[in-house]
């Protein structure tokens, strides 16, 4: 977490120092409640073994797209039912101008987050781990979280917006009741997950809330994403930055930065699972 303390300075330029510190305090409090990792392995023989803080919790990480999607257009273009409409099974995703793909980025980030959460005792499931030629479809991605009875699902993406825009945002499920979709039970907990994730991510990375959507909140609410519509467990997406923006692309392409991003994602999930409330910039998401 050495890097995290350095990035606070740049976060302060985005949010006030007071609110940033309050979130940091909440984060450290949550970690203290959960039990820091330091005592592990150092406990005396007489002390009871402390359970890992995320023991018994299940997290599904959904790395957006698949590096093989581009060479399987027929498979990924098949239409699937997302409750309130039909959409392509999956898409190829975006890339930086230099050719670093969103699919490579999300898979790398997911593997980093998995290591961090597993070290805290969580059962971590990836919807794909570079172990299949394409997909899965968005419907199967949602089903994986549901069947695992996941405590939290985070879909990892990076955006392909116009080059002028930068920053990240978190996508929350809208209330959708149509066909196989009924998000009413998950709208509330997903919003709490999204707020924790947004606040931890900006603190860990210094990445600002997106400048090009969301009204400066770093949040969007959408009703068109199968992964959210069909989820029966708390679920959000994070668009980690804009791959078409030069500065964001440079960060997303840097392994050390991705490690900071992974810490932010893992901390956001940990805060959610510990029931810690955060909220740097208000919690009003705009409709997408
Ligand atoms: Zn994507």
Domains and CATH numbers, the chain: 2-33+52-280 (3.40.630.40)
CA–centroid distance, 139 to ligand 1, in Å, is 15
CA–centroid distance, 29 to ligand 1, in Å, is 33
C-alpha pair distances (Å), 35 with each of 2, 31, 95, 113: 19, 6, 39, 19
In the residue annotation, 75 being an active-site residue is answered as no
Of 102, 207, 239, 287, which residue is the catalytic one?
A: 239
CA–centroid distance, 249 to ligand 1, in Å, is 14
Tokens coding 262: 């992974």
Neighbour count for residue 137 (Cβ, 10 Å): 20
Phi-psi region of 41 (alpha: psi -120 to 50; beta: other; left: phi over 0): left
Predicted pLDDT at 46: 59
CA–centroid distance, 63 to ligand 1, in Å, is 9
Regions of the chain with pLDDT less than 50: 1-18, 21, 32-41, 43, 285-288
Predicted pLDDT at 172: 98
Closest to 20 measured CA to CA, from 29, 11, 7:
11
Predicted pLDDT at 5: 39
CA–centroid distance, 56 to ligand 1, in Å, is 29
Determine what percent of the chain is predicted with pLDDT higher than 90: 78
Is the model's pTM score more than 0.75?
Answer: yes
Predicted pLDDT at 280: 60
Tokens coding 111: 């593997």
CA–centroid distance, 100 to ligand 1, in Å, is 13
Predicted pLDDT at 50: 77
CA–centroid distance, 218 to ligand 1, in Å, is 16
CA–centroid distance, 192 to ligand 1, in Å, is 22
Tokens coding 169: 């945002």
């Amino acid at each position: 977490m050495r890097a995290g303390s350095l990035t606070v300075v740049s976060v302060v330029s985005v949010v006030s120092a007071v609110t940033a510190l309050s979130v940091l305090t909440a984060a450290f409090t949550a970690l203290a409640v959960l039990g820091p990792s330091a005592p592990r392995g150092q406990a005396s023989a007489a002390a009871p073994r402390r359970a890992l803080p995320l023991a018994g919790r299940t997290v599904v990480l959904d790395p957006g797209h698949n590096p093989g999607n581009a060479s399987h257009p027929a498979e990924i273009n098949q239409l699937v039912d997302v409750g309130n409409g039909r959409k392509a099974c999956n898409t190829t995703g975006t890339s930086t101008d230099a050719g670093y793909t969103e699919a490579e980025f999300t898979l790398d980030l997911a593997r980093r987050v998995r290591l961090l959460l597993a070290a805290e005792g969580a059962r971590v499931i990836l919807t794909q781990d570079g172990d299949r030629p394409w997909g899965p479809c968005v419907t199967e991605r949602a089903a994986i979280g549901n069947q695992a009875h996941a405590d939290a699902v985070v879909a990892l993406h990076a955006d392909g917006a116009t080059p002028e825009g930068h920053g990240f945002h978190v996508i929350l499920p809208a209330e959708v009741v149509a066909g196989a979709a009924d998000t009413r039970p998950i709208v509330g907990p997903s919003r709490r997950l999204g707020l924790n994730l947004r606040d931890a991510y900006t603190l860990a990375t210094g990445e600002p809330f997106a400048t090009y959507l969301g009204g400066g909140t770093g949040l969007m609410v959408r009703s068109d994403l199968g992964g959210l519509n069909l989820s029966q467990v708390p679920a959000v997406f994070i668009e980690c930055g804009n791959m078409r923006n030069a500065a964001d692309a440079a960060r997303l392409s840097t392994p050390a930065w991705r490690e900071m991003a992974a810490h932010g994602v893992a901390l956001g999930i940990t805060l959610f699972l510990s029931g810690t409330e955060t909220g740097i910039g208000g919690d009003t998401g705009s409709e997408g």
